[in-house]
Amino acid sequence: MDKSIFKLYSTNLYSVHADSLVCSIANKNIDGIDNIFAVIKPQNISLLSMDNSSLHVGYSMNIGREFLERKGIIEGEEQTEFLSFFRGMIYNYPAFELIVEFEKDHSIINCDVIRVKGGCKRELPYYGYVPFAVEFIEFAPNGEKHIIKQISDPADYDTFRIKLAPKIGQILSRLFAGVCFLDAIDLDDYIDGVRHSYQGRGGYHWKEVKGDVNSDSQISSLEFSINLNSHIAKLYDRKNLYYREYQVISHASFDPGPDDCYESTDKFIWAAFSFNESFLLSFLASIETVSSFSFEKQNYENVMCIRFNKEMTKNRFEELTGIHLFELTQHTSG
């Protein structure tokens, strides 16, 4: 039987092939400071490997992060040390959700990401101590993040077992040359609401994930694509609201002549969801009476398109399908 693949992000991105992960909380006194961390014991582990290829290393938003630019299998003492002093995220989003069972009361919760943070001194040039916490985080269909459970009080320290289950339903996606998914860095930053870099950028709203239009809007069609390997479907629509081309006459001696310029305003609507056979059939049945399917040529490719034959809005679509549509209005010029 194939092992589950757990993603562990802690400066670098690791994959753990195991049946489950058993996590406990431990501390070690270093220079008179209590260092608190998670101890991970994979059950029936077959492989621990590092691969940063899916991280957006090198983008300006990630300048200043520390990455070990290598791939490879982690074995022996290096494997033991990494798993025995873990801080970071545990996940396999968006394909899987985490099933977590706690040892003390045998309660079970489902979440998307587990984040182990703090329990150590702040990194230079900052001072002070970062309180320890284990956060069990869930992403709502509308993109809101909820901490459904948190362990921070020593009296609540507990051992818990993590297993994977296929994620069914709406998943968080971002708008970047179409619909794409958040990597480990994006997830960590999205949970914080801050893009971390050495420049210390402040808080911001993730418009490319949640959009900036909250009002209900009419929709006439949606591109619809499904991946049968990942069991993920995407919905997408782009409409140009305004476009203008013009020329700016330059009299500078080093750049004579007119410059061609443009202004454009576009509206984007999108969503993504994971499915199994029954969920996909239910989704198709929910829109069967209000839409038709066709293949249309767009950007030299045949794209499946859902065309609505009755008046449709984002809210009405969510009522029918349970899928929340995000909307973003974007202004560009050049």
Q: What are the residues whose beta carbons fall under 8 Å from the beta carbon of 297, sequence distance 6 or more?
A: 303
What backbone torsions phi and psi does residue 78 show, to the nearest 5 degrees? Answer: -65, -40
> What pLDDT was estimated at residue 62?
43
Q: Band of the pLDDT at 59, cuts 50, 70, 90?
A: very low
Q: Band of the pLDDT at 205, cuts 50, 70, 90?
A: low
Q: Band of the pLDDT at 16, cuts 50, 70, 90?
A: very high
Q: What are the residues whose beta carbons fall under 8 Å from the beta carbon of 12, sequence distance 6 or more?
A: 50, 52, 67, 68
> What pLDDT was estimated at residue 64?
45
- Note the pLDDT tens digit of each residue in 224-257: 998 888 899 999 999 999 999 888 876 665 666 6
Instruction: Give residue 65's Cα distance to chain centre.
Output: 18
> What pLDDT was estimated at residue 121?
82
Contact 74, 13 (CB under 8 A): no
> What pLDDT was estimated at residue 247?
82
Task: Give CA–CA dist 190/39, Å, rounded.
Answer: 25
Number of CB atoms found within 10 A of residue 251's CB? 7
Residue 300 has pLDDT above 80, yes or no: no
Q: Give me the mean pLDDT over the 202-214 stretch.
A: 78
- With 0-12 / 13-18 / 19 or more C-beta atoms within 10 angstroms meaning exposed / middle / buried, residue 75 is exposed
Q: What is the mean pLDDT of the chain?
A: 85
- Note the pLDDT tens digit of each residue in 107-158: 999 999 999 998 888 877 777 888 999 999 999 999 999 999 999 998 889 9
Per the document, the length of the chain is: 334
Residue 201 has pLDDT above 70, yes or no: no
Contact 20, 98 (CB under 8 A): no
> What pLDDT was estimated at residue 235?
94
Give the full edge-to-edge strand order of the sheet including 108-111.
33-43, 20-30, 160-166, 96-102, 108-111
> What pLDDT was estimated at residue 297?
60
> What pLDDT was estimated at residue 2?
58
- Note the pLDDT tens digit of each residue in 262-272: 899 999 999 99
- Whether a cis peptide bond, with omega within 30° of 0, leads into 125 is yes
> What pLDDT was estimated at residue 255?
63
